[in-house]
Amino acid sequence: MKLSLRGEYALRALIVLGLNYGRSVVQIQTISRQQNIPKRFLEQILHDLKSAGIVESRRGVAGGYRLHAPPERITLAAVIRHIEGPLAPVSCVSERFYEPCTCPDEAKCGIRSVMKEVRDAIVKILEGFTLAQLCERVRQLHAEPGNPLDYII
Amino acid sequence: MKLSLRGEYALRALIVLGLNYGRSVVQIQTISRQQNIPKRFLEQILHDLKSAGIVESRRGVAGGYRLHAPPERITLAAVIRHIEGPLAPVSCVSERFYEPCTCPDEAKCGIRSVMKEVRDAIVKILEGFTLAQLCERVRQLHAEPGNPLDYII
DNA sequence: TTAATCTTGATAATATTTCTAGTGATTGTA
DNA sequence: TACAATCACTAGAAATATTATCAAGATTAA
């Protein structure tokens, strides 16, 4: 599980949306400027998150994006799985993205059994972590919360 | 931490060398055939492991590779770090491969703090796991151990 | 001397990641 | 209606990483 830039951008964008949950939609341009993410690239990412049902959009003049579900119900595991694919270090130990590897016999593969442990450790952390908790951490990291839109993540 | 083919091949090769530790050297060709790893590619990988001080080689007619240290003293963390780079999902939380990320302020980055947890979990497992233990698992996975060279990993 | 082996550097082929561009669709408002 | 702001979608350029191959050379045991 390595987080690509795409994945990092997705999380940063979701934090912004999370901090604004319950208010109006947030425009791509706003997120792009605030987080220093290439706008066109961010468009793609948000569209991707929409197709995953994580965010929803509103078009037109006062358009923008917002979370589809409350941030308490969005786990980091779900987000990263959708953007990055398997959380497992090798896909032959992935539950949701299983693919056979090149080893002659999986059942007798020593590497597999270790990587399964790694996978479980990663999954345990990321499934137990919601976007709400992440937003809370961000809030805590800022001594004096001003306008949420100005948060530097 | 995603394991590339290169990393998987490295581990498989090391298991073969681990199972043969204390005996003679093992030829690249032997490992290549047994594990179905492209020979030229394996050459590179073993040379790489040699430069890391993990294996040593003997040239000439009866040449080949063997472990430089006893398998008890080789951790999976050390091997994977050398082949793949940082174990951390983002390099801004890596201890040995630290690099700043694109976020405006690391100290206040919520993502960072979560990824640090993930990193620690991965490191804990892989630093506590030696090649000897991995070889032991492989032996256990085979009900009837025959010639170690014939192990299918 | 010979044959088997590792050594080394170059590089080809492919896949992935990151990012840009262009065009079209939708919507609120004047 | 017409306009401007915004999302929707597709294509693909550019850079990088991964996987693999080739060829000539150095080393060594027999």
Asked whether the whole model's pTM tops 0.85, one would answer: yes
CA neighbor of B127 nearest in space, from B83, B94, B69, B80? B80
Mean pLDDT on B116-124: 95
Q: Which two tokens stand for residue A15?
A: 């934090």
CATH classification at residue A16: 1.10.10.10
Taking the CA of residue B46 and the nearest CA in chain A, the distance in Å comes to: 18
Indicate if B70 and B145 belong to the same structural domain: yes
Q: Which of B75, B102, B118 to mutate to test the interface with A (most CBs of A within 10 A)?
A: B118
Model confidence pLDDT, tens digit, residues B22-74: 888 999 999 998 888 999 999 999 999 999 999 999 988 889 999 999 999 99
Q: What are the strands, taking DSSP E only, across A9-132?
A: 55-58, 64-67
Indicate if B149 and B91 belong to the same structural domain: no
Model confidence pLDDT, tens digit, residues A23-70: 888 999 999 988 888 898 999 999 999 988 999 998 888 889 999 999
What distance in Å separates the CA atoms of residue A84 and residue B28, rounded to the nearest whole number? 35
Indicate if B70 and B82 belong to the same structural domain: no
Q: Which residue has the tokens 């681990």?
A: B18
Indicate if A52 and A80 belong to the same structural domain: no
* Total domain count, chain A: 2
Indicate if A65 and A82 belong to the same structural domain: no
What does A102-147 look like in DSSP terms, one character per residue? SSS-GGG-HHHHHHHHHHHHHHHHHHT-BHHHHHHHHHHH-SS---
Indicate if A46 and A108 belong to the same structural domain: no
pLDDT of residue A143: 54
CA neighbor of A77 nearest in space, from A54, A55, A98? A54
User: Is pLDDT at B118 greater than 90 in this prediction?
Assistant: yes
Indicate if A93 and A33 belong to the same structural domain: no
Indicate if B59 and B33 belong to the same structural domain: yes
Contact of B105 with B118, CB cutoff 8 Å = no
Q: Do A141 and B110 touch (CB under 8 A)?
A: yes
Indicate if B18 and B56 belong to the same structural domain: yes
Going by pLDDT thresholds of 50, 70 and 90, the confidence category of residue A149 is very low
> Residue at minimal CA–C1' distance from C21?
A40
What distance in Å separates the CA atoms of residue A36 and residue A17, rounded to the nearest whole number? 15
Taking the CA of residue A150 and the nearest CA in chain B, the distance in Å comes to: 12
Indicate if A118 and A138 belong to the same structural domain: no
Indicate if B2 and B69 belong to the same structural domain: yes
What distance in Å separates the CA atoms of residue B50 and residue B53, rounded to the nearest whole number? 5
First to last CA, chain B: 22
B89 vs A3, A105, A109: nearest CB: A3
Tell me the pLDDT of chain B averaged across its residues. 88
Indicate if A5 and A52 belong to the same structural domain: yes
pLDDT of residue A2: 86
B141 CA to D26 C1' distance (Å): 41
What range does the domain containing A119 cover?
75-129
Percentage of chain B beyond pLDDT 70 is: 92
Percentage of chain A beyond pLDDT 70 is: 92
